[in-house]
Amino acid sequence: MSKFSEYNFKDQKALIRVDFNVPVNEKFEITDDNRMKASLPSIQKIVKDGGSVILMSHFGRPKDGPSDKYSLKHLVDHLQQLAGSETKVLFATDSIGEDAISKAKNLKPGEVLLLENLRFYKEEEKGDEGFAEKLSKLGDVYVNDAFGTAHRAHASTAIIAKFFPADKKMFGLLMEKEVESAEKVLHNNQKPFLAIIGGAKVSDKILIIENLLDRATDIIIGGGMAYTFYKAEGGKIGNSLCEDDRLDTARELLEKAKEKNVCIHLPSDSIIADKFDANADVSGALSNTIPDGWMGLDIGRMATESFCKIISNSKTILWNGPMGVFEMEKFQHGTKAIAMAVAAATKNGAFSLVGGGDSVAAVNKFHLADKVSFVSTGGGAMLEYFEGKTLPGIAAIQS
């Protein structure tokens, strides 16, 4: 593979897989253009070098081929605005058909061509080789800048790479940063390495915890999933979230952690509520003696204090999942305190990576996204990476 920042794109047509799957309202106005903005640095570097850009993306979940609702044509004007008036943005009404072929062929240096939604072709998600090969013919160089789909072996995210020689395929700037940050945390971490895992369900996080048991020094487990662990150990958790079919798994994870000398930290106390409601009555309790009729919706004061101490002693921090129902003001304190502690540790030299939908939402809510080392854009992809799986989109470039 080549390194994007060192590659000279002069007179090259770069085929970039981006993630333009942005939310739009019923008037097709983009309600959050962060994903489009995130791809700009790669596009700008190619244009500046004197190359041209062919953008490939999916958009929504079209079921039966082309439809107006899922057409990427709705994004063209906004892309033109973002790219600036000096960069001409064109649109092809298909992805591998006549329009795409002729517009790609006639594309001039400095121009950007957006192809129609790849998922209008069922071959895309099937990872069809013929479809991937046709896409590959449109450009000279393949760039993958869509980390969010790196865990899918789709035609445009992985299969296409085999039609380019090693020096003509690479990660884009966004994806390169994702991969470098994730590798730094998983394989090149400085110890103590702390993983903070939260959120609702143990079942979603078993594989990630198992994989981290071979790497982390400490693992903090917060959020709704902590109560399954407390119940597994014989605690009383009232009406707190619990997966009864995962009690054995929780016990096994605690056992394995002991064997591997990894400290698992559960929240010793909780903020409890009499119902799952923003206006619920609130009290505090030890997490293993929550009264009947009450539920733990946030980590308590003692737990927060002890977690913050562990965070401040860590050199590498991975955070996935909130400590409580942070969407409600009464139960946001634990997550906010953890976010602030991660920011403070980062300021003191720790490397921190925040990933997974809700912890990203949390650092954004508390305006701390720029105070951590890296915020991952790929929820599912990042989770699978930390579960120890090989991501097809990464492997296809590296092999």
**Residues labelled catalytic:** 35, 201, 357, 380
272 in Cβ contact with 224 (< 8 Å) = no
Q: How far is the CB of 49 from ligand AMP (least distance, A)?
A: 40
For ligand AMP, which residue of 16, 132, 241, 342 counts as binding (CB under 6 A)? 241
Indicate whether 172 belongs to the interface with ligand AMP (CB under 6 A).
Answer: no
Residues 344-383, one symbol each (x = binds ligand AMP by CB under 6 A, - = not), give ------------x-x-------------------------
For ligand AMP, which residue of 199, 238, 355, 393 counts as binding (CB under 6 A)? 199
Indicate whether 392 belongs to the interface with ligand AMP (CB under 6 A).
Answer: no
* Nearer of residues 24 and 242 to ligand AMP, judged by Cβ: 242
Report residue 172 CA to chain centroid gap.
16
Angle value at C-alpha 70, between 65 and 73, nearest 5 degrees? 110
Residues 32-61 contacting ligand AMP, CB under 6 A:
none
Indicate whether 62 belongs to the interface with ligand AMP (CB under 6 A).
Answer: no
Tell which residue, 132, 137, 152, has the closest CA to residue 101. 137
Total residues in contact with ligand AMP, by rule CB under 6 A: 16
Contact region with ligand AMP (CB under 6 A), list: 172-180, 248-256, 316-324, 366-374: 316-324
User: How long, in residues, is the chain?
Assistant: 399
DSSP-H helix ranges across 61-149: 76-83, 98-105, 122-126, 129-136
Q: How far is the CB of 359 from ligand AMP (least distance, A)?
A: 7
Q: How far is the CB of 35 from ligand AMP (least distance, A)?
A: 20
Q: How far is the CB of 366 from ligand AMP (least distance, A)?
A: 15
Tell which residue, 255, 253, 245, 201, has the closest CA to residue 223. 201
Indicate whether 334 belongs to the interface with ligand AMP (CB under 6 A).
Answer: no
Q: How far is the CB of 112 from ligand AMP (least distance, A)?
A: 35
119 in Cβ contact with 59 (< 8 Å) = yes
- 337 exposed, middle or buried (CB, 10 Å; 0-12, 13-18, 19+)? buried
* Nearer of residues 139 and 199 to ligand AMP, judged by Cβ: 199
Residue type, 135: L
Contact region with ligand AMP (CB under 6 A), list: 52-60, 112-120, 127-135, 323-331: 323-331
For ligand AMP, which residue of 238, 324, 355, 378 counts as binding (CB under 6 A)? 324
Q: How far is the CB of 270 from ligand AMP (least distance, A)?
A: 8
Indicate whether 204 belongs to the interface with ligand AMP (CB under 6 A).
Answer: yes
115 in Cβ contact with 72 (< 8 Å) = yes
How far apart are the C-alpha atoms of 235 and 100, rounded to whole Å?
A: 62
Tell which residue, 323, 353, 352, has the closest CA to residue 336. 323
DSSP-H helix ranges across the chain: 34-38, 40-49, 76-83, 98-105, 122-126, 129-136, 173-186, 202-212, 226-232, 247-259, 301-312, 333-347, 357-365, 379-386, 392-398
How far apart are the C-alpha atoms of 156 and 301, rounded to whole Å?
A: 48
The radius of gyration of the chain from alpha carbons, rounded to an integer in Å, stands at: 23
Residue type, 15: L
* Nearer of residues 325 and 363 to ligand AMP, judged by Cβ: 325
Complete DSSP assignment for 275-303: SSSTT--EEEEETTEEPTT-EEEEE-HHH
* Nearer of residues 150 and 273 to ligand AMP, judged by Cβ: 273
Contact region with ligand AMP (CB under 6 A), list: 80-88, 147-155, 199-207, 212-220: 199-207
For ligand AMP, which residue of 62, 224, 355, 378 counts as binding (CB under 6 A)? 224
Q: How far is the CB of 319 from ligand AMP (least distance, A)?
A: 11
For ligand AMP, which residue of 62, 127, 296, 355 counts as binding (CB under 6 A)? 296
Indicate whether 201 belongs to the interface with ligand AMP (CB under 6 A).
Answer: yes
Number of residue whose CB is nearest ligand AMP: 199
Instruction: List Cβ neighbours of 194 (8 Å cut-off, separation of 6 or more).
Output: 216, 217, 218, 219, 220, 310, 311, 314, 316, 317, 318
Indicate whether 148 belongs to the interface with ligand AMP (CB under 6 A).
Answer: no
Q: How far is the CB of 199 from ligand AMP (least distance, A)?
A: 2
List of residues contacting ligand AMP (CB under 6 A): 199-201, 204, 223-224, 241, 296-297, 321-322, 324-325, 327, 356, 358
